[in-house]
Amino acid sequence: MRGVTSLLIAAFLCSFLLVTPYYQVVRADLTPLVRVIPETMELGPQDVIGQIFTVAIVIEDVAGLQGISIEFAWNTTYLQYHSHTMTMPADIYSSVQPPSPYAGILTGGIWICDTIDLPNGIYEVAYGTFGFPSFTGSGTVFVISFRVIDQPQLGEEDVTLEWDFISTELADSQANSISHQVRSGTVIIHTYPWNIADINQDLKVDIFDIILACEAYGSTPEESNWNPLVDVAPLWNRIDIFDIVTIGYHYGEEYTP
């Protein structure tokens, strides 16, 4: 499929030799980058089975872009495809596409491939522009959502999943390959403990768990004292009084096999 995609992109692009830069100016010393946003995501240790989350695939600091082909894969043991939006062309997806900080990418053009392989966990997307200006700057290729379908349990290690770029191809107006870097991302699924209040996971809820909770009090994921293990109650992604109360409720409990 990749060979067919490349030929199609070449066929569309070779006919158009006059290209006008589109969007922001990019410094010549920057190397285009294909990456996942967010680069690191942590789920758990609370029960996250059934939780849905979204990531964005973006291209940054590219100049003269006229064609894109990307094959993106995920772990089907822990994640199930939920939905996706291909955010091309940019004149339709002109606003920021969360969790990406960028709007869509390319202008005009045609979908060459937009295929989901659910059994193998692969999404293939290809898009080429013709008769339209090239794209210069940073933009979002697609956003894709997943549902968590499995989580390690007591006695099992946390699971770290890495997004897999099977292939990435960027083309200019002459159907030449644009050199670029690829940076993947990770999703960490924390073990679901016997008791969410057992912060240090020593099989008992005691003063040491309370101390750890207090040290993280008031924090969010961006702060240095953030501890995801303390985030045991809504609202998520902030350690507040509800987390402290939840941990205190379980005080004195011990694990019994």
Q: Which top CATH class is 195-257?
A: mainly beta
At 53 the pLDDT is 97
Whole-number pLDDT of residue 24: 53
β-bridge partners, 153:
192
* Reported confidence tier of residue 70, pLDDT bands at 50, 70, 90: very high
pLDDT value of position 97: 98
Instruction: Give the C-alpha distances (Å, rounded to integers) separating 122 from 53, 116, 172, 251.
Output: 17, 6, 25, 45
CB 182 within 8 A of CB 62: no
Phi-psi label, residue 218: left if phi above 0, alpha if psi -120 to 50, beta otherwise: left
197-211 in b/e form (b: 16+ CB < 10 A) is bbbeeeebbbeebbe
**Range(s) for CATH 2.60.40.680 in the chain?**
2-189
Does 23 score more than 80 pLDDT? no
Answer whether residue 107 shows pLDDT above 90. no
Predicted TM-score of the model (pTM): 0.74
Q: What pLDDT sits at residue 83?
A: 97
- Helix 241-249 / helix 207-215 crossing angle, nearest 10 deg: 170
The residues of the chain that CATH labels 2.60.40.4130 are 195-257
Question: Which two tokens mark 75?
Answer: 């772990």
Confidence of residue 27 (pLDDT cuts 50, 70, 90): low
Tens digits of residue pLDDT in 159-208: 999 999 999 999 998 889 999 999 999 999 999 888 989 999 888 999 99
- Domain 2-189 sits in CATH 2.60.40.680: yes
pLDDT at 142 over 80: yes
Cβ-contact 113, 126 below 8 angstroms: yes
State yes or no: pLDDT of 9 exceeds 50. no
Q: For residue 119, give Cα distances in angstroms to 73, 132, 152, 229.
A: 11, 36, 22, 33
Among 79, 76, 67, residue whose Cα is nearest residue 108? 67
β-pair type (186-189, 40-43): parallel
Percentage of residues of the chain with pLDDT beyond 90: 71
Residue with tokens 């309370």: 210
22-31, 141-150, 192-201: range with lowest mean pLDDT: 22-31
Most confident listed range (13-22, 23-32, 241-250): 241-250
Helix, strand, or coil (residue 229): helix
Q: Quick one: tokens of 102?
A: 């960028």
How far apart (Å, rounded) are the C-alpha atoms in residues 118 and 111? 20
Between CA 49 and CA 200 the distance in angstroms is: 22
Tell me 228's DSSP state.
Answer: G
